[in-house]
C-alpha cells in the first residue's frame, strides 16, 4: 500500500465526515447528482458494525488487494444510502487523483452505479447485439438491489449473470453490491451457487449485514 495515497484518502474521508454541508454539496453536483432521498448520509450515521466494514472496504482501495462490499439487509435498512455514500467517497478520491496525475486515462469513467434490472438489460443488449452499449464494465461497479424481481424461466439471464460475475471475479474488478435477501436465502437461490461463490469470496468482497430493522419507520 502506498502510505501517502492511503493517508490522503483517509484525510479526505475525515474531512467530509466533519463537514456534512460540504459532503451534501458534493453529492448534489460535480458529476454525482445523488437522488435526494439518499443524500447527506455520512459514515458516522451508520451502526458501528457497518461503519467498520464499509471503512475497511474503502481503505482497501488503496491497497494491492482491494475488496468490494456485499451488503445484505431488509427493506429500509439503508443499504442504498450506504452504497451512495461509498460512491461519493470513491468519486471524491478519483477526482483528486485526476487533478494530481492529469493523465488522459484518469478522465475516462472509472465507476458506474446501476440497479440490478439495469444490469440485466445491459447484458441482454450486449449479448444480442441489438445496439451498441457502453456496458457495466468499469473498474468499479455499484449494483443496487441484486436479484430484485428476478425472473428467468428460460435460464438466459442466469447464463449472462454467471459469465459477467465470473469475469469480474477473474479480473479482480471491484464491486459494491446490495440486496434485500439474507445471505442464507441467497445461498439457497436455485442455480445461483456459482455466482454467490464469487460474490462471497472473502478475498474479493467483504460481507456486511445492515440487519432487519427499517430506518424509515
Report the pLDDT averaged over residues 1-16. Answer: 80
Residue 214 pLDDT greater than 90, yes or no = no
How many Cα neighbours within 13 Å face the side chain of 108?
8
Those residues whose C-beta lies under 8 Å from the C-beta of residue 103, and which sit 6 or more positions away, are: none
- Residue 106's pLDDT band, with cuts at 50, 70 and 90, is very low
> How large a percentage of the chain has pLDDT more than 90?
47
Residues 6+ apart with CB under 8 A from 46: 54, 78, 82, 210
Taking the C-alpha atoms of residue 205 and residue 98, their distance in angstroms, rounded to an integer, is: 26
**Does the pLDDT value for residue 107 go beyond 50?**
no
CB 113 within 8 A of CB 142: yes
Residues 6+ apart with CB under 8 A from 213: 74, 77
Element of type H or E holding 168: helix 156-170
Cell matching residue 166 = 465470473
Instruction: Read off the pLDDT of each residue in 21-48 and give the average, rounded to a whole number.
Output: 90
pLDDT attached to residue 95: 83
pLDDT of 21 above 70: yes
Q: What pLDDT score does 7 carry?
A: 85
Q: Show the domains of the chain with their CATH numbers.
A: 3-208 (3.40.50.300)
| Residue listed under C-alpha cell 471475479 | 169
Q: Specify which residues 174 forms β-bridges with.
A: 140
pLDDT for residue 133 is more than 70: no
Q: For residue 60, what is its C-alpha cell?
A: 482497501
Contact 118, 134 (CB under 8 A): no
> What is the average pLDDT across 128-135?
55
Mean pLDDT of 57-63: 93
Amino acid at each position: 500500500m502506498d502510505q501517502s495515497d492511503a493517508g490522503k484518502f483517509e484525510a479526505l474521508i475525515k474531512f467530509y465526515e466533519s463537514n456534512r454541508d460540504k459532503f451534501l454539496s458534493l453529492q448534489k453536483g460535480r458529476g454525482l447528482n445523488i437522488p435526494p432521498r439518499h443524500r447527506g448520509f455520512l459514515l458516522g450515521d451508520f451502526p458501528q458494525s457497518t461503519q467498520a466494514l464499509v471503512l475497511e472496504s474503502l481503505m482497501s482501495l488503496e491497497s494491492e488487494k482491494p475488496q468490494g462490499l456485499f451488503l445484505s439487509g431488509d427493506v429500509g435498512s439503508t443499504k442504498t444510502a450506504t452504497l451512495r455514500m461509498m460512491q461519493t467517497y470513491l468519486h471524491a478520491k478519483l477526482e483528486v487523483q485526476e487533478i494530481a496525475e492529469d493523465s488522459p486515462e484518469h478522465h475516462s469513467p472509472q465507476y458506474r452505479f446501476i440497479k440490478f434490472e439495469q444490469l440485466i438489460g445491459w447484458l441482454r443488449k450486449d449479448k444480442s447485439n441489438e445496439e451498441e452499449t457502453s456496458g457495466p464494465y468499469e473498474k468499479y461497479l455499484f449494483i443496487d438491489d441484486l436479484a430484485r424481481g428476478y425472473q428467468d424461466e428460460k435460464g438466459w439471464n442466469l447464463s449472462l449473470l454467471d459469465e459477467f460475475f465470473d469475469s469480474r471475479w477473474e479480473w479482480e474488478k471491484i464491486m459494491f453490491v446490495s440486496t434485500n435477501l439474507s445471505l442464507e436465502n441467497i445461498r439457497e437461490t436455485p442455480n445461483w451457487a456459482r455466482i454467490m461463490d464469487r460474490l462471497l469470496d472473502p478475498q474479493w468482497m467483504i460481507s456486511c449485514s445492515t440487519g432487519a430493522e427499517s430506518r424509515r419507520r
